[in-house]
Amino acid sequence: MTIMTEPPKEAFRLSMLINDTRYRSLTFQAIAAIALALIIFYLANNVATNLAKLGLNIDFSFLGAQAGYDINQTLIPYSSQSTNLSAAFVGILNTLLVAFLACITATIFGVLAGVLRLSNNWLVRKLMSFYVEIFRNIPVLIWILMIYGVMTISLSGPKAYLGAEPSKELFLGLFAFTNRGIYVPAPIWGPGSMVVVVTFILSVIAVIAYRRYATNLLYRTGKLLPTGLPTIAILLIPTIFMFFVMGQPIGLDLPDPLANRFNLRGGLQIGAPLIAIWFALSIYTGAFIAENVRAGIQAVSKGQTEAAAALGLRSARIMSLVVLPQALRVIIPPLISQYLNITKNSSLAILVGYADVTATLGGITLNQTGRAIECILLLMLFYLIISLTISSVINVYNNSIKLKER
């Protein structure tokens, strides 16, 4: 009988850190990390030493001082008596608002343009090609200024809607389009309104769950469940039912042209700077997303489309059930970069007077306090955190749709 014994393990020696392939890569990584840390320490110490020689020091106490300036559009309560920290938060929220809105609309524009670029209709295909080539080859700064200029020049002032005999009437009795922005109805939240809002959120979750179930059932058994009418029913019926059960707690504050002789009152004003930066980022980035979508669709084998058509699926279902799910694996990675570009390009909003974080913390606050290093460091930290967060969230979704090996 033969007895198999493991060979004795070799004792660890320092030379193995270089000679042994099991440790060599770890050794080089550790050396690189130490060298990088030393370089960062040297640079930071050099900056601190030079600042000390100039009688300066890094101090963030200015964030607690009074800001002393107004901001035209805020999502949280703010006045000129608020602190610089509050002004920075207002700018951060404004940046996140325009980035969120632009990401959604740019995705819609990009998906539509990317799909239509492959249309069999010659006119539609050429129009989408014209859109992509024009908008992505002109700097976004030009589009921001152009859209803002068109709004302020072509649209009339609020006075056109004022008085007993105005020259213009509210569109559908709800909207006013002026060179200062668009006035829209604002919601009035009464007692019980949160119940309606929570019901609507749960309805959205139920719609997503139902559509996923319908898709998985189709893939498993081939049984096709209706999705159009059930989606509308699940989304609207519970919310409308709860709205009337709670006594209609949500109302509308409409723009009132008779409330003031100088400006419209009531409703919600969406400022012209916000509209300009939002729309410019959307159409500019949408052109790049359209190319990503087109490349992703063309990466899917044509045989997939032909096989789906042979099974009797309509063109719309072939695109939504067969082509796009596979194309997403190609579309998502470059899409992350486009979302990051939207967030960073939003810093151009200062050109049209939109108070984002670059305009508040990196502009007015920096000029008033003279704390350039501190403000720039905070700006860098903010954009770094936002960029890493966006990348992490989209990468989670990207990992969920990638091919799983057996």
CA distance 287 to 134: 9
What are the chain's domains? 89-152+270-401 (1.10.3720.10)
CA 175 to each of CA 37, 186, 239, 256, 293: distance values in angstroms, whole numbers, following the listed order: 57, 11, 25, 10, 34
∠ Cα 316 322 327 (to 5°): 105
CA distance 68 to 91: 15
Give the residue among 387, 383, 406 at the shortest CA–CA distance from 395: 387
The secondary structure of 203-222 as a DSSP string is HHHHHHHHHHHHHHHHHHH-
CA distance 85 to 87: 5
**Each residue's pLDDT expressed in tens, for the chain with a length of 406 residues:** 455 566 566 666 666 767 777 777 788 888 899 999 999 999 888 877 887 787 777 778 888 888 888 888 888 888 888 888 899 999 999 999 999 999 999 999 999 999 899 888 889 889 999 999 999 899 999 999 998 888 888 888 777 777 656 667 777 777 888 888 888 888 888 888 898 899 999 999 999 999 888 888 877 887 778 888 888 898 889 999 988 888 888 888 877 776 556 677 777 888 888 999 999 999 999 999 999 999 888 888 888 888 888 877 787 778 877 888 888 888 888 888 999 999 999 888 888 888 889 989 888 888 888 888 888 889 999 999 998 998 888 888 777 777 665 5
CA distance 88 to 91: 5
- Residue 326: helix, strand or coil by DSSP? helix
∠ Cα 10 15 21 (to 5°): 75
Give the residue among 347, 368, 343 at the shortest CA–CA distance from 356: 347
